[in-house]
Structure 1
Amino acid sequence: MSTTADAGPAASPHWAAAARAVALFAIDPAGLHGVSLRSLANPARDRWLALLRDYLPEGAPLRRVPNHITDSRLLGGLDLAATLRTGKPVAERGLLVEADGGVVVLAMAERLSAGVAGRVGGVIDRGEVQLERDGLGLRSTTRIGVVALDEGLADDEHPPVALTDRLAFLLDLSAVTEADLSVPALPAEAVAAARARLGSVGIADEMVNAICSAALAFGVASVRASLLAIKVARAAAALAGRDSVTQEDAATAVSLVLAPRATILPNAEPPEEEPPPPDEPPPPEENSEPDPPEEPEEQEDADSIDPKELEEMMIAVAQAAIPDKLLAQLREGKTVRSRAQSSGGGRAGAAKKKGRRGRPAATRAGEPTANTRLNLIETLRAAAPWQPIRRQEAEREGRISTLVEVRRSDFRCTHFKQRSETTTIFVVDASGSAALQRLAEAKGAVELLLADCYVRRDNVALVAFRGKQAEVLLPPTRSLVRAKRSLAGLPGGGGTPLASAIDAAGMVATTCRDKGQTPVLVFLTDGQGNIARDGTPGRPQAEKDAIESAQALRIAGFATMLIDTARRPQAMAQKLAAEMGAKYLLLPYADAQAMSRAVKATTADSVAAESRRG
């Protein structure tokens, strides 16, 4: 009997896809690797996790991994108490080893560090935990599935790509309503029967080719996605009670695995014209018996489909399943980054690695300093394997052996990191050219960006330039009212001291960086400087000084964006953006959302640069 994984006819498409995915994932958690579940803590997420518990085999472990887990607890390490008691190294099983044959749930996966994500991804790839630390060298078979709970609020907050690239499903429950949850779910017996049938399910080569072609058509670069889609198609066939993958099973796979990863829309090709029918049918041959009925042949043709038609069908199914928000961006002709490709982060500022406050970042060998703390447990772990040797040395030297002998080489210190604040510095051209043309529009654009920064809890600063020099109208602050007042009272007219503005913005950014903040510079100018750095008029010298200041800004490594306020692209503004390493955006074609996205992208670059610098 055929059984589908649908949540039911009354369920919304979002919940139907989520219910289908949880059933397929429970059939083969280790083979499908996992699910990225984007949702806040709500009834929909609780219902999805409850279904997962019901669908998993009896006795299969389901372990929750906290965001701040240590490597020793995640992968295993030295059992300190047992080692000190027995006098020899004793290994402790890590949480991933304990979850062998089951599923681990990663809490707040959007905040997961790249290191932890990489280690979990390595265990998924190898199917084992390799432990080589604290004098131990062990290999433990570990076949697990992963559920990454993504609680990110912004579009650019996602789990690390090292993890999501390995997971079969990227689900979003934000559109699921409580009414959807009342729809009866698939019985657990059907999932158990599909799990037993999965090993005997085959897939034809044309199905594999169609799935891979669909991935290529939608710009899904990772080969993992195609391999996972093939596994999902086999699981869907097993759930439907079939021994081989059909078009329906392949369509389920591309809609659940490939559609959320789409980065482009396939180019529509005109349909090929069918050849015209012959004018007259050929005359029947004499003394020939009538042809036998061709019903069996037609039935055979109905069961088999042309590979080209199969590929087109898979592409159409995937396009129909693309999330609405992603589809709108693709239709605008934009090449977007999918959730599996998004690196996440970029809002909270760079991670500062110095200081004794914040979240523990790493534990390393070394003596305690003003910026680190001695980690007593890890120090004892490092010293424990050497105790038998040190006791023998003490006996040979005639010293009294202590219970635990700790040496300087055993010291392990904890290093901390904390997120710095992001400061967006707006540098506004209030000179005569800008005042006559676009100053009003520039002010409106800055007000929109200021409001967006306020929502993100960023600090903002305002630098204006006109006459002979630039002026810091507003030092870094979180007061949106003060920023708007300073901007509203900004007069226009006079020369364009562009070099002075770049220097002033660089000094403000340097001060912010010295305070531990992450600066982002946003210039609004047409690039037509005519006042040199020393205040004398003259366009050639002014442009030369502006280029020198821009190059110095680039050397400092600040993330920068230049919004051209002219009505048409200005060559000098483009050259200035290139010299300072800034992103270039033309104001007439940049609405509020486009500018906001550009500022967010620039902020993300700044965070990454500052993190590497730290």
Structure 2
Amino acid sequence: MANASNAPATDAPDAAAMAAAGDDAAEARAAVWTDAAMIAALIAVDPAGLGGVHIKAWPSPVRHRWLDLMKEMMGPGRPFRWVPVSAPESRLLGGLDLTATLEAGRPMVAKGLLAEADGGVLVATMAERMATETAARITQTMDRGAVTLERDGLTRQFDTRFGLIALDESDTDEDGPPAALLDRLAFSLTLEGLRHDDDLPALFLAEEVAAARQRLPKVTIGDPHVEALCRTAAALAIGSIRAELLAVRAACASAALDGRREVDEDDALLAARLVLSHRARALPAPPQQQDDDEQQPPPPPEDDAQTDEPETPPDLPDQPDEPEADTDRDDLADNAGEEDRMVDAAQAAIPQDLLNRLIAGQGARAANRSAKGKQKKIAGARRGRPTGTRRGMPGGGERLNVIETLRSAAPWQPLRRAQGQVAHDGVQVRADDFRITKFKQRAETTSIFVVDASGSAALARLAEAKGAVEILLADCYVRRDEVALVAFRGTKADVLLPPTRSSARAKRSLSALPGGGGTPLALGLDAALGVAEGERRRGRRPIVVVLSDGGANIDRAGAAGRAQAKEDALKSAQAMRAAGVQALFVDTSERGRMRGKALAREVAAAMGAEYLPLPAADARALSTAVRARTPADADG
């Protein structure tokens, strides 16, 4: 009876704590959504002046919801252009419109995305993969307010002012967009952890944003607010002067949204929190206690004779000036108070991951990271062995096949002349006639090893995987292949080795992997699928190699149980098959264990993977099997 009566008393606090935690999480998400809505409104008011926003989020309904809000805030008629990561220079800057030129008989210019975005925003997808040349073109245009076209024998200049939304899908800050690009964006927003069904606050209507946009040129900001913003930036060790300028623009935009023509302290506090906090490179110094010597008058001189005759002001008329001096001191005190409030607001808004780095003293190193060497271009069909032609538009590296283009246009010349659609004589070529050369090039492949590190035979499996990885790495300089390693054991799966060609890094990752524990096969397959999808976005071909006996006994939630673990593993395998990822399942079960082989075959069939029973495979045999299933060439 005593135990029964004590049970409700034990469960009630837990339920209350869970409810309180849920409320706190909902409040935190609501605060982030409020900031996200405010950032969208501020950019819509002054897209060119504020530069734009860096969005840290994977493709999701949450990200699409914010982009829809941004588009709604911009209002009708405002450009909203998307820039793919592989956009060629001709699409970015513009160039010769070949179709219009052939029809008109004179050079016709087509505007690029930078010119088309004038007055609106440019959305850069996968900004972490943006090529250095593309980032340089965008930043130069943002600084000059114009784009210069000098290509295809044309010289044009288009005035354009726009904001940029940099969509960042990287896993770490070191892999983010180029630093020069981020320096020109006023805001940074992380949407991770938000839910698409959260209430999105309707802070402003599109009509209110349009009215604020008209009011913005008349908004003024006083010197005290500017000085407070500059001192706040100095307290946070922000080295770029653009931070203060962007904060001033944000404060003015906030005042315009509120229907005022002068910036107040609330506008400046908002600007410090949204613009300066994520740029912090050091935590503000704690307030130092003033020495008593500064609070008290200087000690009396050693000569007592001089202390008997206190000094008096020589000119009595100067005394009325003292109230003005008091007023100046009051103003300085007010400015100092506003600065302290700004510093506190900015410090409270520093993202948690950045705050951890600042506490650890890593902020300066993160600030000085270079974008050089990070960007990897996605290879297009621009090199290799010619293998025929296909219909398409030249430009962006695509090579026009003149002979095949004329051959395609020749049968239609009598009909086109009879119709008289073109005023000039000669061969009449239309867009449908263009033929570009196809190339066959070697496929760039990433082999993703998924190693079962559980159980008593883990050391043998790891030795096989290590030998296979090292052999494959030896060919990387020739084949330009990359290798990744995913290991699962216990209740989790880890990406021990992101895609790389470094043999030294591979050896270090493998040597640090312990063995033993349960078999969360579903988590291992999920992690491998995530790596494979990332490699596809890089333009590479992933191949997943699973080394396991298929005996899953830990489900996705980390609970033990073979039935649920097997069901989760089959679902993960089916997801990989639906994604179209090429896979190879290497059965590492012991000889004579028919039950283990049946499980491995079932998982391999669900994956659509080739089944390779190698209970005692050596590294070279495994490497040969992987190479045999790697495509040698790809058509472009």
Return the TM-score normalized by structure 1: 0.57
Identity of aligned residues (%): 38
2:84 is matched with 66
SS in 1 for 2:239: coil
Q: Does 1:238 align with 2:256?
A: yes
2:355 is matched with 327
Give how far 1:66 is off: 2.9
2:123 is matched with 105
Match of 1:377 among 362, 370, 393: 393
Q: Does 1:52 align with 2:70?
A: yes
**C-alpha distance 505-37 of structure 1, shift in aligned 2 (>3 A):** closer
2:622 is matched with none
Q: Does 1:421 align with 2:446?
A: yes
2:182 is matched with 164
1:479 is matched with 451
2:290 is matched with 272
Alpha-carbon separation, structure 1, partners of 2:365 and 2:388: 38
Give runs of aligned pairs for residues 400-415 of structure 1, distance below 5 A: none
Give runs of aligned pairs for residues 419-498 of structure 1, distance below 5 A: 421=446, 458-459=448-449, 478-481=450-453, 485=457, 487=459
Q: Is the Cα contact below 8 Å between 1:131 and 1:138 reproduced in 2?
A: yes
Alpha-carbon separation, structure 1, partners of 2:159 and 2:442: 33
**C-alpha distance 110-200 of structure 1, shift in aligned 2 (>3 A):** same
**C-alpha distance 403-233 of structure 1, shift in aligned 2 (>3 A):** same
Cα offsets for 1:322-356 (capped at 9, x unmatched): 0122212322333366699674997xxx95x8xxx
2:341 is matched with 313
2:141 is matched with 123
2:49 is matched with 31
SS in 2 for 1:377: coil
1:141 is matched with 159
Cα offsets for 1:388-420 (capped at 9, x unmatched): xxxxxxxxxxxx97667xxxxx99998989765
Q: Is the Cα contact below 8 Å between 1:373 and 1:415 reproduced in 2?
A: no
Q: Does 1:187 align with 2:159?
A: no
Give how far 1:362 is off: 8.4
SS in 1 for 2:150: strand
Cα offsets for 1:75-127 (capped at 9, x unmatched): 21111112122332211122332221111222333333333232222221221
Q: Does 1:511 align with 2:481?
A: no
Alpha-carbon separation, structure 1, partners of 2:370 and 2:183: 10
Give how far 1:488 is off: 6.8
Q: Does 1:22 align with 2:40?
A: yes
Give runs of aligned pairs for residues 175-214 of structure 1, distance below 5 A: 175-178=193-196, 180-214=198-232
Give how far 1:56 is off: 1.8
Q: Is the Cα contact below 8 Å between 2:33 and 2:200 reproduced in 1?
A: no
Q: Is the Cα contact below 8 Å between 1:202 and 1:244 reproduced in 2?
A: yes
Query: What residue identity is the alignment partner of 1:514?
Result: V
Q: Is the Cα contact below 8 Å between 1:169 and 1:256 reproduced in 2?
A: yes
Structure 2's unaligned 5+ residue stretches are 1-25, 298-318, 407-424, 430-434, 486-500, 513-537, 539-636
SS in 2 for 1:266: coil
Query: What residue identity is the alignment partner of 2:481?
Result: Q
SS in 2 for 1:12: helix
Give how far 1:40 is off: 3.1
Give how far 1:134 is off: 0.9
Alpha-carbon separation, structure 2, partners of 1:128 and 1:19: 29
Q: Does 1:218 align with 2:236?
A: yes
Give how far 1:171 is off: 0.5
SS in 2 for 1:132: strand
Alpha-carbon separation, structure 2, partners of 1:40 and 1:520: 21
Alpha-carbon separation, structure 2, partners of 1:111 and 1:123: 20
Alpha-carbon separation, structure 2, partners of 1:277 and 1:245: 38
Q: Is the Cα contact below 8 Å between 1:80 and 1:381 reproduced in 2?
A: no
1:251 is matched with 269
Give how far 1:137 is off: 0.8
Return the TM-score normalized by structure 2: 0.55
SS in 2 for 1:268: coil
Give runs of aligned pairs for residues 355-370 of structure 1, distance below 5 A: 359-361=378-380, 369=385
Cα offsets for 1:297-329 (capped at 9, x unmatched): 999976764555444433222111101222123
Alpha-carbon separation, structure 2, partners of 1:512 and 1:100: 45
Query: What residue identity is the alignment partner of 1:257?
Result: V
**C-alpha distance 49-519 of structure 1, shift in aligned 2 (>3 A):** closer
Give how far 1:164 is off: 2.1
Q: Is the Cα contact below 8 Å between 1:89 and 1:135 reproduced in 2?
A: no
Alpha-carbon separation, structure 1, partners of 2:402 and 2:44: 43
Q: Is the Cα contact below 8 Å between 2:387 and 2:439 reproduced in 1?
A: no
Query: What residue identity is the alignment partner of 2:347?
Result: Q
Give how far 1:24 is off: 0.9
1:132 is matched with 150
Cα offsets for 1:231-254 (capped at 9, x unmatched): 112212222333333332222112
Alpha-carbon separation, structure 2, partners of 1:169 and 1:484: 52
**C-alpha distance 171-482 of structure 1, shift in aligned 2 (>3 A):** same
**Root mean square deviation of aligned Cα:** 5.2
Query: What residue identity is the alignment partner of 2:480?
Result: G
Cα offsets for 1:169-205 (capped at 9, x unmatched): 1111113345642434323343233222211222333
SS in 2 for 1:479: strand
Q: Is the Cα contact below 8 Å between 2:235 and 2:284 reproduced in 1?
A: yes
Q: Is the Cα contact below 8 Å between 2:40 and 2:70 reproduced in 1?
A: yes
SS in 2 for 1:82: helix
Q: Is the Cα contact below 8 Å between 1:519 and 1:559 reproduced in 2?
A: no
Give how far 1:28 is off: 0.5
Alpha-carbon separation, structure 2, partners of 1:179 and 1:302: 49
**C-alpha distance 259-340 of structure 1, shift in aligned 2 (>3 A):** farther
Give runs of aligned pairs for residues 533-548 of structure 1, distance below 5 A: none
Give how far 1:25 is off: 0.9
Alpha-carbon separation, structure 1, partners of 2:478 and 2:288: 59
Alpha-carbon separation, structure 1, partners of 2:462 and 2:439: 49
Q: Is the Cα contact below 8 Å between 1:201 and 1:237 reproduced in 2?
A: yes
Query: What residue identity is the alignment partner of 2:357?
Result: Q
Query: What residue identity is the alignment partner of 1:421?
Result: T
Cα offsets for 1:344-379 (capped at 9, x unmatched): 997xxx95x8xxxxx445869xxx746999997337
Cα offsets for 1:421-475 (capped at 9, x unmatched): 38xxxxxxxxxxxxxxxxxxxxxxxxxxxxxxxxxxx55xxxxxxxxxxxxxxxx
SS in 2 for 1:174: coil
Give how far 1:509 is off: 4.8
SS in 2 for 1:143: coil
Give how far 1:131 is off: 0.9
SS in 1 for 2:35: helix
Cα offsets for 1:141-184 (capped at 9, x unmatched): 11111222223345544233343222111111113345642434
**C-alpha distance 360-373 of structure 1, shift in aligned 2 (>3 A):** farther
